[in-house]
Amino acid sequence: ASTPAMRSATPFEPPDPSLPAAQRASAWFMRGDVLRSEQDFAGAARAYDESYAAYPSSQALYNAALAYE
């Protein structure tokens, strides 16, 4: 399931579903980093979850857990 782009001062276009999974995951992961830096922890957690859904990685899970905390 696709999640709408989280609100942020930094523009973001969700990655094209036709991109390779690793590229989609990277785009969502970087989005999580931006949102976390803006202290939007709920948005960051959702972005890291999207990253993990696209291409599972321990770093995405770890960062999501920190954002949920």
What pLDDT digit, counting tens, does each position of 10-66 carry? 789 999 999 999 999 999 999 999 999 999 999 999 999 999 999 999 999 999 999
- Sole residue written with tokens 């995405």: 60
Name the pTM for this structure: 0.85
Helices (H), 2-40: 21-37
Q: Quick check: 51 and 20 in contact, CB under 8 A?
A: no
